[in-house]
Structure 1
Amino acid sequence: MKEKDVIKSFSKEEYQRRYNLVSDLMEQANLEALVIYGDTYRGTEVRWLSDFPPRHDTYLIWPAEGEPTLLVRHFNHVPDAKIVSNVVDTRWGGENSGVTTAKVLLEKGFTSGKIGLVGRIPYKDFNAFRSKIPKVEFVDRDRDFSRLHVTKSEEELAWLRKAGEINDATMEALAQAAVLGATEFELIAALEHAYVKEGGEHVLHFFSTTSMEAPEAFVPAQVQKDRVLKRGDVIINEIGVGWGGYTTQEHRAFAVGVKPTPLYQRLYDVAVRVHNEILNLLRPGATIREILDVGDTIHKEGFTINDGLFHGYGMGISPPPGGRTRATVHGSHQEDFQYQENMVLVIQPNIVDEASGAGLQIGNTVAITAGGVEVLTKYPLDFKTVGR
């Protein structure tokens, strides 16, 4: 690992902790090396070891013995990567990332044995590995690797707290910008300014604006429009912010210009009740079954959900496992799974009234502690009226 003089960097002890975890994984699986892939949408594993946030087709080659190599797809990204990355051997990935990765493996002497693959490696790159190094056995170790960072260290939790602080400020910026006549695009501009000026990173800004009397949305939207805020609207939102790759998200609803309608207030009350009951049961040893028991409340109240009820978080969506409700599950839940101290979750009940098409979402990012939970996003849970 090289010394760095940048704003976001962990201690030498933290990096060594990670390297030890990787070394243990490789020893247990009898691996000569790991080839770790990342891109814009799934770069957690590369960044966790190298500090570099991947863009297109980034490869981190991590040998059991010797120095790692980071291959950056775009030539003009290499100078900055050399500054940001803690990997000394950071270089261009060439015109063909798969071929270059295979060449580096050969350069390091890997002509046989077993090499673990991590990440969603493109098929053409995988074929390049096999054709260039036919005697190597390439094996999938993606899930095993992701488990290495499912339990957060104290330093990682500190970064998540920082992300949570910026997330709260971003939510407040959204509330302040929500004046009558503002467009959804103007709301985006306000919230992005709030986190960028603090050094925060873009994760997501999903939200929908719709009339409470004639709702046309029941879940935060991924794509915003030029719709203008009107009195009697509701803003349903899901806002996520990162700090050095460590991410939080929170969900709130704002009434615009008036108090919430009785239906929306009831949706909100059920969401907060479910949210709080889940928080109250979380502790080391708590199971998914217990969370699902609380989730059954939603359907007993005559409502349903559209989004997931809970999921793992911390560096984007990641283990530990999450789920929906028993009545809406796609597949099955790991009901016996037990959460452990320092795992991070998002609790996010999205309560939907199918008859009217109304819906909203309430949620927070939380870390499981020895005695319960620490809520990392702390924006008030009140059903706030904005734009008066």
Structure 2
Amino acid sequence: MPWEAWPEGGFPRFSEGEREARREKLAALMAENRVDRLVVYGTWGSGDAVHWLSGWPVSREAAAVWAPGEAAKLFVQYRNHVPTARRAVAPEVEVAWGGPWTAEAVGGELLRRGGSGQRVGVVGPLPAPAWNHLAAEVREVVDLTAGYTRLRLVKSPEEVAWLRKGAALTDRAVRGLEANLRPGVSEFELVDAIERAYVPYGGMTHIHYLSVTSPSAPDRCVPSQFPSPRRVRPGDVVTCELSAAYWGYPGQVLRTFVVGTELPTEVRELHRVVEDAFHAAIRALRPGLRAEELGHALEVVRRSGFALCDDLVHGFGGGYLPPVLGAEGFWTLAHASLELQPGMALVVQPNVVTPDERFGVQTGELVVLDHGGPEFVHRYPRGLRLVG
């Protein structure tokens, strides 16, 4: 039975008002940087701007050409993806095949619209050969990706509503994992169970990372990006990082499970530290906070004698966003000085590991910052999970 949030026979779309507000933000970014037209680029798994502008979540590769007062034209790869893209995009977007080389199609469209004298802004991970091709066609090409990223930090109410739907689907994913955790099941079979839990409800796969290891002879400290044939044995520890998405808007849940009837002492100790770090970060989150003030949550881990092998906090919803606070601190000074605002979506996800990185646990989830602090959008229970 399809999930009720999906339109009958179609694809989810944001409202006309939401789409117009996005175009206004892009127009302001273009005016600030004195560019005549914008090229928005994305590939499968990298670059969210195409989806944000056009409504197409990018199946393989896509690039849009746009300027204020003009309709966006979206070039899609591959040829057989064009019919679906035409059904999925916003009604004001024109869709065409990108031809043998998308950059050549984009360059031709730029020349058709504005000639060779224009200054063009690019958003997204445009490959160097494509960049060089466009630079040879027009007067100047400049990178506006950082400016676009700033636009994405604060989510609109409609985006938050979609993130809630992604969170509900992700909760289903974690429940599907828990329901199938038993001795003898393989990591491959667990991933199958995870997907079966949300796909019937309209969920899209974002990530499903997991690892199985024995606390008596551990060799995994973080959820693995790729499953293996390894089978669960009594007493094993299973860590996961799961994200199912509602049309490109995912939730995220990180949890640790013990398969058996007892919680090993080292698992208890690691998880006590991971929960202390999680709650230290959660208590600090509030509008007006400079991101660097979250650094005290790292000290919780450092004082314990354990270590981190993942970010403690990162922005989310529209990509892997600032502020990113990892074991070595913030990625950049700009991340550290970032002031948190209502509407920001953040994943708090401490991963506490032994210094030799042979064993670890993880907990966390997506929250949305409200005027009074963080709002939990997930309903799956927090804490270390013991399953039989």
> Which TM-score band (shorter chain)?
over 0.9
Q: 2:221 aligns with which of 218, 223, 231?
A: 218
Instruction: Report the alpha carbon displacement of residue 332 of structure 1 after superposing the two structures with TM.
Output: 5.0
- Partners of 1:343 and 1:356 lie apart in 2 by 32
The unaligned stretches of length 5 or more in structure 2 are 1-7
Residues 1:264 and 2:271 aligned together: no
In the alignment, is the contact (CA less than 8 A) between 1:260 and 1:383 conserved in 2? no
In the alignment, is the contact (CA less than 8 A) between 2:18 and 2:158 conserved in 1? yes
Q: 1:96 aligns with which of 90, 97, 101?
A: 101
- Partners of 2:123 and 2:221 lie apart in 1 by 36
- Partners of 1:211 and 1:379 lie apart in 2 by 25
Cross-structure match for 1:345: 346
- Partners of 1:34 and 1:380 lie apart in 2 by 44
Q: How does 1:45-56 map to 2 (within 5 A)?
A: 45-56=49-60
In the alignment, is the contact (CA less than 8 A) between 1:71 and 1:92 conserved in 2? yes
Secondary structure of 2:71 counterpart? coil
Deviation digits for residues 108-138 of structure 1 (CA, Å, limit 9, x no counterpart): 133213110111111221222133x24x211
Instruction: Report the alpha carbon displacement of residue 330 of structure 1 after superposing the two structures with TM.
Output: 7.6
In the alignment, is the contact (CA less than 8 A) between 1:33 and 1:114 conserved in 2? yes
- Partners of 1:101 and 1:382 lie apart in 2 by 50
Instruction: Report the alpha carbon displacement of residue 5 of structure 1 after superposing the two structures with TM.
Output: 6.9
In the alignment, is the contact (CA less than 8 A) between 2:295 and 2:329 conserved in 1? no
Cross-structure match for 2:377: 376
- Partners of 1:289 and 1:98 lie apart in 2 by 40
Cross-structure match for 2:3: none
Cross-structure match for 1:105: 110
Query: In the superposition, relative to structure 1, how do residues 92 and 260 fare at CA in structure 2: closer, same or farther (>3 Å)?
Result: same
In the alignment, is the contact (CA less than 8 A) between 1:208 and 1:236 conserved in 2? yes
Deviation digits for residues 126-185 of structure 1 (CA, Å, limit 9, x no counterpart): 222133x24x21111111012112100111101111111111111011001111111111
- Partners of 1:160 and 1:329 lie apart in 2 by 27
In the alignment, is the contact (CA less than 8 A) between 2:64 and 2:74 conserved in 1? yes
Q: 1:120 aligns with which of 102, 125, 130?
A: 125
- Partners of 1:163 and 1:381 lie apart in 2 by 18
Cross-structure match for 1:187: 190
In the alignment, is the contact (CA less than 8 A) between 1:344 and 1:367 conserved in 2? yes
- Partners of 2:356 and 2:126 lie apart in 1 by 43
TM-score w.r.t. length of structure 1: 0.94
The unaligned stretches of length 5 or more in structure 1 are none
Query: In the superposition, relative to structure 1, how do residues 331 and 23 fare at CA in structure 2: closer, same or farther (>3 Å)?
Result: closer
TM-score w.r.t. length of structure 2: 0.94
Cross-structure match for 2:278: 275
Cross-structure match for 2:360: 359
Secondary structure of 1:216 counterpart? coil
Residues 1:138 and 2:151 aligned together: no
- Partners of 1:261 and 1:188 lie apart in 2 by 25
In the alignment, is the contact (CA less than 8 A) between 2:59 and 2:81 conserved in 1? no
Report the RMSD for the aligned CA atoms in angstroms. 1.8
In the alignment, is the contact (CA less than 8 A) between 2:207 and 2:242 conserved in 1? yes
Secondary structure of 1:17 counterpart? helix
Q: 1:166 aligns with which of 166, 169, 188?
A: 169
Cross-structure match for 2:308: 305
In the alignment, is the contact (CA less than 8 A) between 2:23 and 2:68 conserved in 1? no
Q: 2:290 aligns with which of 256, 277, 287?
A: 287
In the alignment, is the contact (CA less than 8 A) between 1:170 and 1:195 conserved in 2? yes
Secondary structure of 1:197 counterpart? helix
Secondary structure of 1:321 counterpart? strand
Bigger drift between 23-32 and 305-314 goes to 23-32
Deviation digits for residues 279-327 of structure 1 (CA, Å, limit 9, x no counterpart): 1111101122221112111010111101111111012312x321114xx
In the alignment, is the contact (CA less than 8 A) between 1:215 and 1:356 conserved in 2? no
Letter in 2 for 1:378: R
- Partners of 2:146 and 2:191 lie apart in 1 by 35
- Partners of 2:194 and 2:35 lie apart in 1 by 45
Deviation digits for residues 168-216 of structure 1 (CA, Å, limit 9, x no counterpart): 1110110011111111111000001111111111111111000011111
Cross-structure match for 1:322: 324
In the alignment, is the contact (CA less than 8 A) between 2:119 and 2:141 conserved in 1? yes
Secondary structure of 2:324 counterpart? coil
Cross-structure match for 2:5: none
Cross-structure match for 1:243: 246
- Partners of 1:298 and 1:287 lie apart in 2 by 21
Residues 1:203 and 2:220 aligned together: no
Letter in 1 for 2:120: I
Q: How does 1:16-35 map to 2 (within 5 A)?
A: 16-35=20-39
- Partners of 1:298 and 1:337 lie apart in 2 by 23
Cross-structure match for 1:68: 72
- Percent identity of equivalent pairs: 32
In the alignment, is the contact (CA less than 8 A) between 1:264 and 1:358 conserved in 2? no
Letter in 1 for 2:131: F
In the alignment, is the contact (CA less than 8 A) between 2:276 and 2:300 conserved in 1? no
Letter in 2 for 1:56: R
